[in-house]
Amino acid sequence: MPNAYISGTGYYVPPTIVTNDDLVETYGVETSHEWIVKRTGIEARRFAEDGVGTAELGFEAAKDALASAGLTISDIDMIVFATLSPDYAFPGSGVLMQRMFKVAELETPKFIPALDVRNQCSGFLYGLATASSMVQSGGCKHVLLVGAEKHSAALDITTRGRTVSSLFGDGAGAVVVSATDEDRGMRKWTLGADGRHAEELCQKVWDTSKRPFITLDENGNGIVPPEDMFANMNGRLVFKNAVEKMIVALWEICSDQGIGPNDIDMLFFHQANMRINQYVQKQLGLPDEKVMHNIDRYGNTTAATIPILLAEAERDGKLKPGMKVAMVAFGSGFTWGAALVDW
């Protein structure tokens, strides 16, 4: 059975920087830079331009990852696309991104299967478990895994929505998961979910329990109230569960491999809230130099946070072959996951 390793990393963030002060001065949100930083650690985020969708952001990150791996799209056997902000209700963003590569127009057309993963902030780790399993089974040699989000199109960027809208930004990260006979790559992954808290962090705009799922006015136009249009979050409950589940998941993968957290060379947390990550780091006794952060610059890009971190760390020379790497995330659902990789 082959091992599955990450052969390439890539990322893309839109050029437009929106600072905390911009939220106040440009968007009229009654908040402050100090208030946001104190509670989240976020100083700025990126917003994509109007007309740019999630698949397009993923496409840019995917091209970067393929170049990093020394591969072309024709080498890819499967696309896994993780997002909570798909371009459409359906079809998934994976096929939209596949179309951008023009695989049907290659000299030898290749109709690469595309799978969308909808596990929000833990979507990349659910996707990584899926991609690694595909490779280890022998079903695929190279899987292109993308985490991409365009949050800015669905944020209530007003004083009413400030507790949620100040958290999120746009961006995409990607990795190529490849087969190898070398003793490296994925060592252990674990995933979990607790649907009892599904509505504590959710966006109900597509509630198909209703008929029609969007109320219509007398002219047949849809009417969506703010509580359904925009994301809602029970912040305290999310914080409590995130801390608990992330620590447990990390201990689980370490225990399986007979190591402790201090044996990890680099740890990549999902970038939801700096305070959550710092609390988990403190509980595990990990030094700052082993923990990567970029939430201050990009905010929460949900499924994209970990692959963006990986790509930046590799480009900066901090992430090197032979390192023992852990990744851990928690998000809506509630869902969570962790993975241990020998880079």
Q: How far apart are CA 63 and CA 216, in angstroms?
A: 41
Of 20, 119, 277, 300, the active-site residue reads: 300
Superfamily of domain 3-183: Thiolase/Chalcone synthase (3.40.47.10)
What mean pLDDT comes out for the span 250-254? 96
Of 7, 6, 26, give the one whose Cα is nearest residue 18. 26
Between residues 279 and 323, which one has the greater pLDDT? 323
When mean pLDDT is compared across 5-9, 97-101, 245-249, 275-279, the lowest value belongs to 275-279
Pairing of strands 114-117, 78-82: parallel
pLDDT band at 79 (very low <50, low <70, confident <90, very high): very high
- Token reading at 137: 């089974």
Instruction: Report whether the peptide linkage leading into residue 225 is cis, meaning its omega lies within 30 degrees of zero.
Output: no
pLDDT at 13: 98
Q: How far apart are CA 298 and CA 84, in angstroms?
A: 17
Domain 186-199+231-342 has CATH 2.30.110.10: no
pLDDT at 198: 94
pLDDT higher than threshold 90 for residue 206: no
- Token reading at 239: 């914080």
What is the per-residue pLDDT across 280-328, written as a single tens digit (0 to 9) for each? 899 888 899 999 999 999 999 999 999 999 999 999 999 999 999 999 9
What mean pLDDT comes out for the span 224-237? 90
Of 242, 124, 151, 183, give the one whose Cα is nearest residue 4. 183
Does 121 qualify as catalytic in the annotation? yes
Per-domain residue ranges of the chain: 3-183, 186-199+231-342
Of 3, 254, 270, 277, the active-site residue reads: 270
pLDDT higher than threshold 90 for residue 1: no
Of 3, 20, 121, 142, the active-site residue reads: 121
Does 142 qualify as catalytic in the annotation? no
What is the per-residue pLDDT across 85-108, written as a single tens digit (0 to 9) for each? 999 999 999 999 999 999 999 889
Do the domains spanning 3-183 and 186-199+231-342 agree at the CATH topology level? yes
Does 254 qualify as catalytic in the annotation? no
